[in-house]
Chains A and B, each alone.
Chain A
């Protein structure tokens, strides 16, 4: 099977809205998926990810908005005419058919000759490393193998779009991590536009070209894993992806953001709000040596250690600042960092590089 990005389609979702009763499962969501891209819909349970994926697959009709594949409006096209491959969390294999029959099912529907069908099924099974398993029954397979069969069945007919709804969440951690890598490789090999749903932020960061963060039926942010992690657009994204501490900042008249009457950063954009928050990732908040020089490129905080958790390669240090705010630092346990000598109740200084400082509009809740 050759990589063929031109055989994949763009998906554009425009102002899509879907209500169940009075609940907005989707509220004016617009997302453009590029051809050949691996896009992940990431959000907590109940945020509307499945609803969006099912709308793309054709299993629910949106109340308003449009979905296009390339230039074709397919908002109300029945699912069997959309030609998308789908993989579900619980695999949804057909238990009354063998592995071969499962994978051959979409080819049978397309009336492909027996010889060609056999060839393509075997090729697909080889791709998912299940060559010797064609004649097995579904109940003779392990969870990981079932997932692979489901995958082979979804791409064997050469769909231009692949949709997956939490396909790995039923697997144990180790297998899940292996499959993440395999899925990524498979995507690279097939070059098919893929929309992948997960509620696991690490999985999203690992696998995606871009991540669309969904919260309560709305698109919270879309961007590459780096953008999402380094430049979260709001408090939800900052706290859902990675760990964060928040420190309230005020904007003064000269356009500076102020923490406890010290101007720390310029306002990053045109927004006029008075209340801002500084987002601090634990691994970027560094413990300072007692007499360290306070350089200009860093923001410093003084506080008292309230919690110490030793975790092997790193240690978690929680520090209460003067105003009662608690920030978390993840410190290396290397000898030079002196983490072992820290004690509860000890006064410490911590700092964050201004380049690592993330500022988001809105107060800290």
Chain B
């Protein structure tokens, strides 16, 4: 009996009957991955223009990226903003998730929903709104303003992750800790927090990436010396197209995948 006549699962369906499914899945995989991956070979091209497949290979555009102050500054800004966003959104999102989860009730549901709105409202609206308000109070083009706006986007993500972790957490543990003589705060830090650790780290990394990858708000709110990398890329694309963009994109893919991978590894250990 050849492989494709064998049962594909605990049913009578054979691999042969499933071939269409395998083909479909492969096509979908390609459609999802190709647009992302295609920039990688393009970034190693020698050519002046974006070109696929490259005729000659070189690291020229990586040198270009690292030796252009504009790009380097933008990169530093992006890291700064993303790190600060992470540092602000993670504790706030965690506290909001915990507080609303523990108190329960209809009021909590409404507040939760309110804090979720940045995920539902088109980002362009948030961008326009903040641009208008920040313009009045002089926060446009400032790191602080960007961090605030990106925090608004990241808090819902942190809240979703932490809330889902709390759903499988037994709050009686905190009660027991209190009955054993621990204050509520101490019970939270010694009992609850260590068990939410993995989720909070995940949330923090996603908050970082949310800010780092964010374009629309950055276009509105960042400029001059405080342009983020995404904003700089966007301007560059408008003015002239050269493979530096591809090189930067490749590095960004590397960063995102690296973070996600480390999460997976961490998760594998956390589950044990």
Contacts and interface: CB of A to CB of B under 8 A. Distances in A.
A binds B: yes
Interface of A: 57-59, 78-80, 82-86, 88, 90, 92-96, 105-106, 109-110, 150, 153-154, 157, 163
A130 B230 CA distance: 59
A86 B181 contact: no
The 10 tightest CB contacts between A and B, nearest first, are A106-B180, A92-B172, A86-B179, A109-B181, A79-B178, A92-B176, A92-B173, A88-B172, A80-B178, A96-B194
B182 A80 contact: yes
A192 to B, nearest CB: 14
Interface in B159-188: 170, 172-173, 175-184, 186
B181 A85 contact: no
B210 interface: no
A106 B183 CA distance: 12
B202 to A, nearest CB: 17
A90 B171 CA distance: 11
User: Which of B177, B178, B179, B184 is packed against the most chain A CB atoms within 10 Å?
Assistant: B179
A298 to B, nearest CB: 52
Contacts of B184: 78, 80
B175 A157 contact: no
Given A80-B179, A105-B182, 12 more contacts: A58-B178, A78-B183, A80-B180, A82-B179, A85-B180, A92-B170, A96-B195, A109-B181, A109-B182, A150-B176, A153-B176, A157-B181
Given A88-B172, A92-B173, A157 B194 contact: no
Contact of B180 (A88, A95, A105): A105
Contacts of B180: 80, 85-86, 105-106, 109, 153-154, 157
A173 to B, nearest CB: 24
Interface in B128-181: 170, 172-173, 175-181
A82 B181 CA distance: 8
A79 B175 contact: yes
B191 interface: yes
21 contacts: A57-B175, A57-B179, A58-B179, A59-B178, A78-B178, A82-B179, A83-B181, A85-B179, A86-B180, A92-B173, A93-B173, A94-B173, A94-B177, A96-B194, A105-B177, A105-B182, A106-B181, A109-B181, A109-B186, A150-B176, A153-B176
A158 to B, nearest CB: 12
Nearest to A139: B272
Given A92-B170, A95-B195, A96-B194, A59 B175 contact: yes
